[in-house]
Amino acid sequence: MKITILGSGSAYGVPMIFNQWRNANPENPKNIRTRACVLIEENDKSVLIDAGPDLRQQINSFNIKDVDALLLTHGHYDHIGGVPELPRASTLLGHGIDVWASEETMSELKISYGYLFRGEEPEGVGIHWKTLPDLGKFECCGLNFETYRVPHHHLHSSAFRLGDFAYMTDWEDISEDGINVLRGVKCLLVECNNGLYYEKNGHSNLDKVKEIAVKIGDPRIVLTHLSARVDYDELAKFVPEHWLPAYDGMVLDM
Ligand SMILES: [Zn+2]
Ligand SMILES: [Zn+2]
């Protein structure tokens, strides 16, 4: 399995609009972050997790040739801003794209992009909407995923495990169900939006990630969805030896 981190940034990317870098050192290219997005390639299938507003740029700059399915974590703009690209993507690929979302996320999508659900988009026939369970197993492109939900602001995010890899973004807490799904995983890609800082903003920081790492068996951990508060080198100094902050283009071979 090959995991490519197409985007490692938080809601506003780094630099933010008007070239604002906050704590991130502009001299380090690892601090240039597009919105969070992950590509999983396994058994000749390509599954994207989230489609934010940088999707077109990410697909083009990493020269990705195919996408079979999209898993959506939740309905915030930085995770669904690229969903309207999919009807044309499906036409250009010449095949359908399965789009998985929980009932809650599907409601958010219908509010944001009503026209995609009313049959007004002629190319929309290639999009196959699928309902994600809130907890448990599901099969996507012949791959056996497990999912659970985590609280995040007023919403919930769906998190995913596929074999020895798991991805959990936009979370502020985790239930025992979530810990049970993650237990024994070998690599966890996890949101650490606030880095070394504490902020009550629906996101996590390094201390919170450390708490769950102990409970799930101390896997390799990669920290993503990093805000402009986070400087790559500064965060890297404070993580255990088998952990790393993510950067755009980082590849994890499993
Ligand atoms: Zn986010
Ligand atoms: Zn969010």
Here the CATH number for the domain that contains residue 13 is 3.60.15.10
User: From ligand 2's centre to the CA of 94, what distance in Å?
Assistant: 31
| Token pair recorded at residue 86 | 């999919």
Residue 45's pLDDT is 97
- Give the distance, in angstroms, between the CA of residue 64 and the centroid of all CA atoms in the same chain: 17
| 34 alpha carbon, closest ligand | 1
| Token pair recorded at residue 202 | 């629906």
Question: Residue 205: inside a domain, yes or no?
Answer: yes
Number of domains in the chain: 1
Residue 84's pLDDT is 95
User: From ligand 1's centre to the CA of 57, what distance in Å?
Assistant: 18
| 74 alpha carbon, closest ligand | 2
Edge-first strand order for the sheet with 220-224 is 136-140, 143-152, 155-162, 165-168, 187-191, 220-224, 243-245
User: From ligand 2's centre to the CA of 74, what distance in Å?
Assistant: 7
Report mean pLDDT in 10-residue bins for the chain, 254 residues: 98 98 98 98 97 98 98 98 96 96 98 91 85 98 98 97 98 98 98 96 97 97 98 97 97 94
Question: Residue 72: inside a domain, yes or no?
Answer: yes
Question: Residue 253: inside a domain, yes or no?
Answer: no
Residue 124's pLDDT is 72
User: From ligand 1's centre to the CA of 115, what distance in Å?
Assistant: 24
Where in the sequence is the domain holding 138, given as residue range(s)? 2-245
d(CA 111, CA 115): 9
User: From ligand 2's centre to the CA of 5, what distance in Å?
Assistant: 17
User: From ligand 2's centre to the CA of 153, what distance in Å?
Assistant: 7
Question: Residue 252: inside a domain, yes or no?
Answer: no
Question: Residue 250: inside a domain, yes or no?
Answer: no
User: From ligand 1's centre to the CA of 25, what distance in Å?
Assistant: 21
Question: Residue 37: inside a domain, yes or no?
Answer: yes
Task: Note the helical H segments in the chain.
Answer: 55-61, 77-80, 86-93, 103-112, 114-117, 176-182, 206-216, 232-237
Question: Residue 254: inside a domain, yes or no?
Answer: no
Residue 241's pLDDT is 95
